[in-house]
Amino acid sequence: MALDRVNNQLFVPAYGNGGFRAFQLTEEGLPEDRRARFITSRESLIGRRSVPAPSAREATFPGANGLFDASTERFFTLDRFANRILVYDASQDQLRNFPGAEVVIGQPDFSSTQRGLGPNRMGAVGAAAVDEAGQRLFVPDSPNNRVLVFDIRPDVLTNDPRAVDVIGQPDLESRDPGIGPSGLRGPGSVAYDPVFERLFVSDAGNNRVLIFDADPDNPEALESAVAVMGQPDFMSRAPRESLDQLEAESLAYDYENHRLFIAEDLEHRIMVYDAHPDRVGGPATAVAVIGQPDAFSTHPAVSQTRVAMPRATINSEAQKLYVSEGYPAGNRVAVFDISPENLATGMPAVDVLGHETPDGEPDFDNRMAQGHLDGRSLAAARAVVLDPVDHRLFVPDEYNHRVVVWQLDELNRIADYDARWVLGQPDLNTSHMGEPTARNMTVPIGGAYDTSTKRLFVGDGYHNRILVYDAAPGMLESGMAASVVIGQPDFESVAREAGRTGINFDVRMGRGIASNFLPMGFAVDEDGQRLFVSDGANNRILIYDITRSELANGAAAIGVLGQVDYDSTAVRAGALGIDNPGHLAFDAETERLFAIDAGRRIVLVFDVDPARLQDGQPAVAVIGRDGFDAPAPAGGGALAAVLGTPPPIDGSSFVTPNGIAHDPLRQLLYVADGGGTFAVPADRILVFDVDPERLQNGPEAVATLGSPNAETGATPTWGGAEPVPGQFRVRDTRGIDLDYENGRLWATGSFESRVVSFNFPRAAWDYRIASNSTQSFSTLDASDLGGQSDPRTDAALSIDTEGNAAPAATIVYTSTRQTVDAASQRHSRRLIGEAAVAPSPPLSHATVFVDGAPERRHMLHVYNPDDSASELALVLRDIRGLVTAEWQRTVPAGALLGIEIEADLASMLDPAPESAAASTPESGIESSINSPGAAMPPREATVTIDADRPVALTALRITTNGRGEDMLAPAPFAYGSEPAQRTVLPWFVSGGDQQSSVVLINPTDTVMTGQLAFHDATGARMPLGTDSDVIDYRVPPFGSRVVASHDAGPRANRGYVVVTADAGGTPHSSALVERSNGGVTVSESIVTGTTGGVANFAVDLRATLIRHGEIDTQLVIVNPSEDVAAFEISSATGTVATGELAPAEQAVLSVRALSGASANGVFSVSGDDTLVVAARQQTTNIRAEQVDVELPPLGVAQFAPYVPNGAGVATEIRLANTASEPTAGTLLFLEPDGAPASRTILR
């Protein structure tokens, strides 16, 4: 924070943009408005980011602190990661214009990040202070055991200034730690007293605060302190023995009343000391404690009287103390009145920035970052725990102090992006940090689940305990109390201890933030009812008997690994020790325990067979190194901003191993390794063969996930582009868990606060659908903008019902383009076009409408399920039904064939268009063309397909719009049924940027004649943008006819069309509906409708990874009869709506309006047999354009001859089981040649 006394505003770090938010204060120092006035550095919506390239405009360290020099109106950004201080002109609110810094201190230029010694380099930038009158900047340089003094007079300060003085060292090239009045050891913070011209230096390594006479006219005075606080004399440096004694941490000074405030980060309080020159010196006793009820309480909590991980800024004139609390804590600035008459231990805050009640009052209890929390967000995902039996996923959400629980589907896939339950908090929208109880937790980082007893074990970091929840379905409730606590005698205790009953996760020291400094890990031996627990700071793994009847609060461990007894905590050497143990995996098949040893960057393998297990026994194997005594690979620590020798990036060693999971069936071990966030040069999940017959020390990984291979390093984060771990890459993966039965790995993305699933490729995908339910599968169309993406592949789908009831299905093809939102840097998919088709039954004859518009192509996708080849005879006819081309194609047995009509015609013309009967070997097309030169179909035409063996067929029309985007729609397509005497097209619309065409196809060899009658929604006959309300038609055999609207008015007139035959029955009829925006066609859809007593549709209004936007499905119902007709709309939850339609009336009902924005499942429309129904899915995409698609009524699924994936196209397979019993089977995907498509990945 920084206090601007000129404009009376408080600058609070804005994490995502490397700058600050400016909050206006009143004269009393209180927030005038709890919304920021402006933001500095840049206007972005980025919520979190890693270290960007250094520049003049913003800090590289997202939580940088600041200083304001009121005398010259300059702002100083202390940019810790870049070891520099940026100096900005802050006059006239200049900071709101995103200026670049004018000067950089500590670096030669704005792009450098050097660490060093000397007059103009620092080992680190500490909490500095400004002497405004003397124009000096005091900068603690902790690694060099000194405080540098810079002359910051505007007329002399230029880039890369040299310090003019140094405190704690004899010269600017020395860095030895020292004691006495002139020595310093790791000073981290300073504060300046402008009244008595004193400098307070927090000499942390010597456990004292030194006070220097900082008279600017007497620079020699800085050579030796005049007083010491916290020690009896200048030569003493013992740590405090009691919590009511001084500890040297972060300083702030009140020059009005001469008080020194010390913010104790780990004790979660601010100690207030009298620092008047007449009364200071020697051991110090605080005059007040802020943030805790007394001088001995240290528990972190976020409330009006408690603080957590505080930093302090003082407004002396207004006598206000501003306490900022970081990410794990309050995400707020609490304001305390520190006037002498009000100052008291445990006093309440008077206001707060960051959290407000709905009534606009300060909210002292809430603490979520960004003012937002729900069931689809995480603050830091460090672990993931799968319940494969009852299909739930538990994710400890470290900084929100909760465990978020998602319900999965029958196949353990994501059923809903919104979580259903939460533990540790009362609900999914609340984040409190309070006193320990059985219902809350602080910094949960790990967990494990016992499917046999349906108990969840959660590692509650700050409370050094394991909470045991009875989490059986029906018992699990949000905010429920844990049943048992391990590691503490009761739910109120939080001691950090060793021993047989103690645990020391020690997350207060930051364990768990970096990948190589781990606090905990868990694994359950279900058969043996043992719980293995990594006790991080005690460098041991404890074993507990968790037999339900035996387990009680404060349970004693029954075994220990890594230590010979329960009181030792030092790391032992070789196979006997374990250094910072983390996540664990247990193999019940071989009674082996796999343990992350984060300190040595290895995985240890222990034989934990109860018959052989002994306390302190050695590991039997090591992964990540050739032997237990082999040296650790080179490389800096995970938090090192500048690495030493880069570690090897290969498949046999780890950089920072973290998550671990085991496959007992295939004997594979998965180990998450890396953490590119912190300049660690790898991010991957390595897979090892750990079959006991083959496992030797230092094995080579057999596969790598989240990275192209084991040898590929992570995208550099330091000074480079922001790495974007999209779909092909992972970053900072911590906990993982494996669903080995369904072939799925769950992996945390810790920095991005996400959890991804890797579904292993296969040709056969199981489906298991509950009664009256749907189950959707989708190809991935995987793509990382600017990176890797799925190439385009086509497959066919054959459904093996395995003797069970066949499901119904709808196949939806979706075309999208990825986009980046510049403000938030989030990726989205812009929906371009969709087409939905019913699965195809085997057909021998079909007629498809085509037209020769230059922007259009027509694709036939044919799958031959027979074991003999099928010969296709294709005939192109013009509007009169005259043959213009004929050709043949062969579909081999079991294979699929894609036919682009236009391409076939072109290939027939080239290279020998004059040939009346050509055979082109390249295409394999046997052809004859009756109208040479016709490379395109006629403007309105049909293609008939006759197959000598039945084939499955899908016909699509692809229209390239004025933006060059390909929109998809089913091609009007007739097969099978006998012509009716009357057909109703339930939807026709014209005007308001929509136009429709009635497409009539005569699939017979008899002329069809009749009338089209256009009706509005009330049933009244009227033209709907057409020439007349009744239009006669005549369609020759195998010919077609199109009747288009041409109303361009601003209002959409909707209604329906009745087709009545005079002769030959009604043609196959459909409506083509086009939407346009600014003259560009943005959607093309087809509406056919269905007639009958019941129509079922697979509806899903939820956005998917492919379909982004606001989705609705409109149910269109027409009563073409002369009587009132009743209808009912129902879903799995029961009746959704009922109603009556007057004779000839059309109704349009929104599923979103009826059932909400997340409606999904089978929606049935039932009523009189005469009703005509259509379901139109409408998605308003992120471009605010509407894309329409008709959902065909659900029919029995057997084949889908076209399953494209990649290059912007994905296929969704919506299965439905409308029966009262569950059903199951297999989706078998086939390559074009009929071989199993074993590389298929679905979600």
Partner 1 sequence: MSTSNRQARFTALAGLIALAFASSAALAQRQAEVCDCAPVSGQPAADVLASHDRWGNPTFIGGITNGGPDSGSVW
Stretch that binds partner 1, among 375-383, 930-938, 1112-1120, 1146-1154 (CB under 8 A): 375-383
Mark 619-658 with x for binding to partner 1 (rule: CB under 8 A) and - for no binding. Answer: ----------------------------------------
Nearer CB in complex with partner 1: 662/889: 662
Stretch that binds partner 1, among 245-253, 377-385, 602-610, 1028-1036 (CB under 8 A): 377-385
Binder of partner 1 out of 6, 30, 36, 980 (CB under 8 A): 36
CA distance 1128 to 1147: 12
Binder of partner 1 out of 3, 90, 302, 385 (CB under 8 A): 385
Binder of partner 1 out of 225, 369, 602, 934 (CB under 8 A): 369
Interface positions, 1091-1120, toward partner 1 (CB under 8 A):
1103-1105, 1108-1109
Nearer CB in complex with partner 1: 608/943: 608
Binder of partner 1 out of 17, 292, 656, 750 (CB under 8 A): 17
Q: Kindly report the CA angle at 985 between 979 and 988, in degrees rounded to 5? A: 150
Number of residues that bind partner 1 (CB under 8 A): 139
Binder of partner 1 out of 295, 467, 523, 578 (CB under 8 A): 523
Nearer CB in complex with partner 1: 789/1131: 789
- CB of 550: closest distance to partner 1 in angstroms? 17
Residue pair 663/740 in contact by the 8 Å Cβ criterion: yes
Nearer CB in complex with partner 1: 326/865: 326
Nearer CB in complex with partner 1: 287/724: 724
E strand map for 961-1104: 966-970, 973-974, 982-990, 994-1001, 1008-1016, 1030-1035, 1040-1044, 1053-1063, 1068-1077, 1080-1087, 1090-1091, 1094-1100
Q: Kindly report the CA angle at 1065 between 1061 and 1069, in degrees rounded to 5? A: 80
CA 517 from centre of chain: 24
Nearer CB in complex with partner 1: 354/839: 354
- CB of 322: closest distance to partner 1 in angstroms? 11
Residue 94 phi/psi, 5° resolution?
Answer: -55, -30
Binder of partner 1 out of 389, 552, 1080, 1142 (CB under 8 A): 389
The answer to whether 7 contacts partner 1 (rule: CB under 8 A) is no
Interface positions, 212-271, toward partner 1 (CB under 8 A):
none
Nearer CB in complex with partner 1: 819/1150: 819
Nearer CB in complex with partner 1: 667/1131: 667
CA distance 306 to 300: 7
Q: Which helix (H) or strand (E) holds 314?
A: strand 310-315
- CB of 987: closest distance to partner 1 in angstroms? 27
CA distance 289 to 306: 10
Binder of partner 1 out of 438, 724, 935, 1219 (CB under 8 A): 724
Residue 651 phi/psi, 5° resolution?
Answer: -90, 5
The answer to whether 46 contacts partner 1 (rule: CB under 8 A) is yes
- CB of 145: closest distance to partner 1 in angstroms? 32
Interface positions, 1170-1189, toward partner 1 (CB under 8 A):
1182
Interface positions, 760-819, toward partner 1 (CB under 8 A):
760-762, 764, 766, 780, 782, 784, 788, 790
Residue 204 phi/psi, 5° resolution?
Answer: -60, -40
The answer to whether 661 contacts partner 1 (rule: CB under 8 A) is yes
The answer to whether 547 contacts partner 1 (rule: CB under 8 A) is no
Q: Is the peptide bond before 911 cis (omega within 30 degrees of 0)?
A: yes
Q: Which two tokens stand for residue 815?
A: 């075309």
Exposure letters 829-852 (e unless 16+ CB within 10 A, then b): bbbbbbbbbbbbebbeebbbbbbb
Nearest to 1113 by CA among 1180, 1163, 1176, 1166: 1176
CA distance 192 to 823: 39
Kindly report the number of other CB atoms within 10 A of residue 922's CB atom: 8
Exposure letters 1011-1028 (e unless 16+ CB within 10 A, then b): ebbbbbbebeeebbbbee
- CB of 391: closest distance to partner 1 in angstroms? 13
Binder of partner 1 out of 353, 503, 797, 805 (CB under 8 A): 353
Interface positions, 1038-1067, toward partner 1 (CB under 8 A):
none
The pairing of beta strand 1110-1118 with beta strand 856-863: unpaired
Binder of partner 1 out of 435, 689, 966, 1062 (CB under 8 A): 689
Interface positions, 410-469, toward partner 1 (CB under 8 A):
413-414, 417, 448-452
Residue pair 482/551 in contact by the 8 Å Cβ criterion: no
Nearer CB in complex with partner 1: 500/826: 826
- CB of 605: closest distance to partner 1 in angstroms? 15
- CB of 1107: closest distance to partner 1 in angstroms? 8
DSSP collapsed to 3 states, 697-708 = CCCCCCEEECCC
The answer to whether 527 contacts partner 1 (rule: CB under 8 A) is yes
Nearer CB in complex with partner 1: 636/1222: 1222
CA distance 834 to 605: 51
Interface positions, 561-600, toward partner 1 (CB under 8 A):
583-589
Stretch that binds partner 1, among 41-49, 885-893, 1015-1023, 1026-1034 (CB under 8 A): 41-49
Instruction: Map tokens 């939806």 to a residue.
Output: 812
Kindly report the number of other CB atoms within 10 A of residue 970's CB atom: 23
Nearer CB in complex with partner 1: 403/969: 403
Nearer CB in complex with partner 1: 574/787: 787
Stretch that binds partner 1, among 147-155, 703-711, 928-936, 1165-1173 (CB under 8 A): 703-711
Cα within 13 Å of Cα(1201), Cβ side: 25
Nearer CB in complex with partner 1: 62/938: 62
The answer to whether 359 contacts partner 1 (rule: CB under 8 A) is no
Q: Which helix (H) or strand (E) holds 1152?
A: helix 1151-1155
Interface positions, 325-344, toward partner 1 (CB under 8 A):
326-327, 331-333
- CB of 307: closest distance to partner 1 in angstroms? 14
The answer to whether 299 contacts partner 1 (rule: CB under 8 A) is no
Side chain identity at residue 1126, one-letter code? A
What 488-495 contacts at long range (C-beta under 8 Å, 24+ apart), as own/partner pairs, is 488/463, 488/464, 488/553, 488/554, 489/553, 489/554, 490/553, 490/554, 491/436, 491/437, 491/438, 491/553, 492/435, 492/436, 492/437, 493/436, 493/465, 494/299, 494/436, 494/462, 494/463, 494/464, 494/465, 495/464
Side chain identity at residue 102, one-letter code? E
- CB of 74: closest distance to partner 1 in angstroms? 22
The single-letter DSSP state of residue 1154 is H
Nearer CB in complex with partner 1: 136/662: 662
The pairing of beta strand 259-264 with beta strand 269-274: antiparallel
Stretch that binds partner 1, among 72-80, 86-94, 742-750, 857-865 (CB under 8 A): 742-750
Interface positions, 743-762, toward partner 1 (CB under 8 A):
743-745, 747, 749, 752-762
CA distance 544 to 831: 53
Nearer CB in complex with partner 1: 367/858: 367
DSSP string, 733-749: ---EEEETTTTEEEEEE
Distances (CA, A) of 656 to 29, 601, 603, 604, 1135: 46, 6, 11, 14, 55
Binder of partner 1 out of 166, 649, 705, 955 (CB under 8 A): 705
Binder of partner 1 out of 430, 704, 928, 1077 (CB under 8 A): 704
